[in-house]
Structure 1
Amino acid sequence: MTVETLQSEALLWSLKSVSMKSASDVRLAEVDLVIPQGVTAIMGYSGAGKTSLLNLLVNYESPDKGTITRTQACSPPGSGLELFWVPHNLGLWPQYTVQGHLKLVYPDVESEQDAVEELLTAFGLSPVRDQYPGQISQGEASRLAVARALASKAGILVMDEPLIHVDQTHWPFYWKTICDFCQKNNTSLVFSTHQPDLVLREAEHVICLDQGQVIYSGEVNDLYYAPPSYQVATYLGPVNDLTPISDTFPEKEHNCDIKLIRAEQLALDKVEQSSWEVQSVAFSGSIEEVIVSHQEHQVTQSLYHRPVRSVLKKGDRISIRLLMLFLCLVFGSGCLSDNAPELVFSQIKQWPVPSEGIMIPAPRSVNVGPNDELYVLDNAGRVLVYDSNNELIRQWKMPESDVGKPEGVCFLKNGQIAVADTHYHRVVFFDQQGKVQKILGEYGLKPGQFIFPVSVVQDPAGNIYVCEFGENNRIQKFSDQGEFILQFGKVGNKPGEFQRPAGMVWHHGKIYVADADNNRIQVFSDEGTFLEILGTKTGGIPLYYPYDIAIDRNNEELYIVEYGLGRVTKTNLAGEVLGRFGKTGTEQGEFLTPWGLTVNSKDQVIVADTGNRLIVKLIP
């Protein structure tokens, strides 16, 4: 990032030809750098020079060569300091209590007590307020160092691996406090870390160091989606270097530059015949590493993708498919450009689901009840129920969830809650307190059996429709008593065929189905007759991995959530695009692999933002 590219932005620091040496090594070498206002992350492996750079920024150390210029771009709120530093060793004062640390730096005596109480509560330090640094845990000490920095109300905060001793389960809560403070007070933050998830979630700008040299400086999104090299790309997590096998992709015919591909830009599909064979699979919850070998070319490749669920195993034959719509968007060929207006919402509310032990689960499916209660499934295998004010009122666990988590929830006319228990090949019906009433289905290909059921809807007559993928890509229809009536659909990409059918909605005798891998919405009669691909008559709907669909309460407009592009698309029943909202990202108004959505009686759109582990309510 150069000064020229930031002419319109306020700069915090400018470094020219800065070098530092230790007795035995070079700590920083010829660093030319500008750091803008906002939130900047400094990344690098141990010994890369992160702490050395921060020490220079706060004048704790001086360079052996070069110049560092600081411009106070952020006016300190109130009478706060210009800058506050959280060093790697935390720099706590042993002679002051926890509460004393905050009082000592807070600049406004009149409002001191309320502000200190608020910070003690926000960082979970109230129980140890009267203790000294030597009496508290490392995690509490880390939180105290950050709370003290916020209490100073400095215009710039510099933090060396903040919250490093705090368990990652609680990171989002504390980081939300930090970011809310920075936004409210127009405070800039520069922090070091080696955690890609933290940078993607919290930072706007990123600086990557390697052996004392700056190898990247720029926007976080630019590094994620258009990295200059494989080495730099890995700073923000796993990436596929497809250069050795790029000639095997038919997408080359479309002149797309196939080089560095993120996990969500690659699909690995299980097929009967393929030259690619799976050698091993390692599933980590959101990203799966699959080592494959090619029979003809005798090449082995490690690939990363984001499976909607983990189903690959050693010996499977697969096809490797680039998700072209996304690539076209990234490389500027305009494949998804339809000049749709932006949907406008007056307010955005978002919140995480409750923690489960040391884990912060991610929501997967959402649906509403008759009084706008919100039913949520998460990847801890739980059913969560929120009232219309977003307050959690009850929850329960699925009967089993060790081998996989449920993906679709539906409130039925009889007051029961139907859950597509995906990896247990069944639909489970609960009463409103979470007691199992009945179970429909078992593993198999016959009528009334399932492979991976993922969505459930009901029509006004009480008939239940279950959508599934796997060896079966179909929809089955049952009576309200669970008696099989009919089925429609099969594997394929022709009209009436599916590749990963996902969300469904019933409306006026029609079933609208999000056909995820085929990037389209298909419409059937509720007797199973294929009617149309939505939008064909109006020029088509550009979609990338539509994974759920809902209809507004006036039954006139459809909302579609796109897993691959992190956005919500609104259409009418003819398939004309009325607007879009969101993009892939970690900021408010952005989504990271959103999985499900629903619409309540107030036409508020609720999204299960799975990648960001948030429930998001969009209020018109």
Structure 2
Amino acid sequence: MNVRRTSGRLPGPPPPPDTMNNFSRTLQSHHCARALAIATAAVFALGGPVRAQDPAIDLDHGCIGWEPGSQFAHPQGIFFDTVRGECYVADTGNHQVVVCDENGIPRYRFTHYVPANGAMVPGEPKCIAVDQEGTIYLVDDASEDLAVLDPTGRLIETIVPPMDDCGMAESFEYVALGPDGVYASLSCPKRRVVVIGADLEISRVIQLAWKDPSERACITGIAIDSQGGIYVTDACASEMVQMYDANGGLFRAFGSHETGLENFSFASGIALAGDGNMWIVDTLRHVVSLFTPEGTRLATLGGKGLEPGAMQYPTSVATDGADRVFITERAGNRYQCFRVEGEVPGGELRNQDQLGMLLEEVGND
């Protein structure tokens, strides 16, 4: 039995978005605008200023909290809903999900609760996906199960991970939308991904055929293409970016634990752009890089810092399927959105000296 039916309900649904216009206007003028207003005058990338008319990638907007004086706390997940033009932030340390409009203005939020000792207690939201109907699929660090929520954050059902053929208790780790359902990676060291159908039942368990079965899996991110191809980041593997077909057959991998911009120290998130390129997070190097499907690096964003365009331990990445990429920072306690303007020159890099020193410093971490 894969679905746990529950009567648990979350207290206090958020006010409808259309009642929050005054709140949003206040927030726009006093909070998120304070955080990233300078983006209209100068763009920061790789830890330093870039002329606004020059770069192929510009800082578009960002957000640091849900109301004046508030602050995200170690956010771990982000998802952009292309149907409704909304950005969902898994605000882990504040036990909540914050929903922003496409310009980074928070619209509403809800606390996520998990069962503990017979009660429902605030959880630690980690990874999130939203389907076309607005149903929310949420992985929480404080629960092994996958929560299915309605658009207001009320619990609909709880999906239990399979416990067979792993040799250990499993939990859901990361979740993404696919052409035939919701895909979720499991904590099993054998690299397993499940597909959840419209009936909220597990329809398939896919064994990813990694070339070295002796390597323990540490999947840290998942993305699915339009054909059901599975893309994962695996921080423990000898090659940390792995691409599998819909049946779990490996067809490409790249990115070793070495120095160099094409490699990684801790690959920890992946998202597909509309053109087939992919964004990869490297938490320890404080960068997010754009790669072709063949593994050629096109651009790199970040560099350790708190100024706009720099990053402090990025954790997750999402795209709008077109020209924007959204990045959360666990230590920066914010998300930033960058816009790709036209074709990205191959290998383009800004502040080469600064980033070079950074990578030399962390390359063997």
Same fold by TM (over 0.5)? yes
Pairwise CA distance, 1:416: 0.7
Maintained 8 Å contact 2:59/2:336: no
Change (3 A) 1:450 1:522: farther
Q: Give the corresponding residue for 1:156.
A: none
Q: Give the corresponding residue for 1:595.
A: 315
Q: Give the corresponding residue for 1:373.
A: 86
Q: Give the corresponding residue for 2:251.
A: 531
Matched, 1:552 2:273: yes
Q: Give the corresponding residue for 1:415.
A: 134
CA distance in 2, matches of 1:470, 1:406: 20
Change (3 A) 1:372 1:358: closer
Pairwise CA distance, 1:450: 6.2
Give the secondary-structure state (helix, strand or coil) at the position aligned to 1:517: coil
Larger radius of gyration: 1
Q: Give the corresponding residue for 2:228.
A: 509
**Pick from 56, 59, 72: which aligns with 1:347?**
59
Letter in 1 for 2:113: P
Maintained 8 Å contact 1:383/1:396: yes
Pairwise CA distance, 1:432: 1.1
Change (3 A) 1:359 1:477: same
Structure 2 residue runs of 5 or longer lacking an equivalent are 1-28, 42-47, 49-53, 116-120, 341-365
1:580-591 to 2 correspondences below 5 Å: 580-591=300-311
Q: Give the corresponding residue for 2:174.
A: 455
> For each residue in 1:331-377, what CA deviation from the matched residue of structure 2 results, as whole angstroms up to 9, or x when unmatched?
xxxxxxxxxxx974233423212379987523210011123210110
Change (3 A) 1:495 1:599: farther
> For each residue in 1:217-257, what CA deviation from the matched residue of structure 2 results, as whole angstroms up to 9, or x when unmatched?
xxxxxxxxxxxxxxxxxxxxxxxxxxxxxxxxxxxxxxxxx
CA distance in 1, matches of 2:123, 2:86: 25
Greater shift after overlay, 545-554 or 563-572? 545-554
Matched, 1:397 2:111: yes
CA distance in 2, matches of 1:578, 1:358: 36
Matched, 1:561 2:263: no
Give the secondary-structure state (helix, strand or coil) at the position aligned to 1:400: strand
Maintained 8 Å contact 1:424/1:443: no
Pairwise CA distance, 1:510: 1.1
Pairwise CA distance, 1:435: 1.7
Give the secondary-structure state (helix, strand or coil) at the position aligned to 1:522: strand
Pairwise CA distance, 1:446: 5.5
Change (3 A) 1:571 1:365: same
Maintained 8 Å contact 1:489/1:497: no
Q: Give the number of aligned pairs.
A: 283
1:169-318 to 2 correspondences below 5 Å: none
> For each residue in 1:29-53, what CA deviation from the matched residue of structure 2 results, as whole angstroms up to 9, or x when unmatched?
xxxxxxxxxxxxxxxxxxxxxxxxx
Pairwise CA distance, 1:513: 0.3
> For each residue in 1:483-535, what CA deviation from the matched residue of structure 2 results, as whole angstroms up to 9, or x when unmatched?
24123149x99279553202111113310101123361111112222222147
Structure with the larger RCO, 1 or 2 (CA within 8 Å, 6+ apart): 2
Maintained 8 Å contact 2:77/2:91: yes
Structure 1 residue runs of 5 or longer lacking an equivalent are 1-120, 123-172, 185-203, 205-341
Letter in 1 for 2:288: V
Letter in 1 for 2:185: C
Q: Give the corresponding residue for 1:361.
A: 73
CA distance in 2, matches of 1:578, 1:495: 31
CA distance in 2, matches of 1:596, 1:400: 22
Maintained 8 Å contact 2:114/2:142: no
Higher strand share: 2
Pairwise CA distance, 1:404: 5.5
CA distance in 1, matches of 2:37, 2:60: 15
CA distance in 1, matches of 2:279, 2:144: 28
Maintained 8 Å contact 2:111/2:122: no
**Pick from 428, 437, 443: which aligns with 2:147?**
428
Pairwise CA distance, 1:557: 1.0
Maintained 8 Å contact 1:451/1:471: no
Greater shift after overlay, 434-443 or 576-585? 434-443
Maintained 8 Å contact 2:208/2:244: no
Give the secondary-structure state (helix, strand or coil) at the position aligned to 2:125: coil
CA distance in 2, matches of 1:363, 1:564: 16
CA distance in 2, matches of 1:386, 1:412: 16
Higher helix share: 1
Give the secondary-structure state (helix, strand or coil) at the position aligned to 2:142: helix
Maintained 8 Å contact 2:173/2:187: yes
4+ residue segments displaced more than 6 Å? 355-359
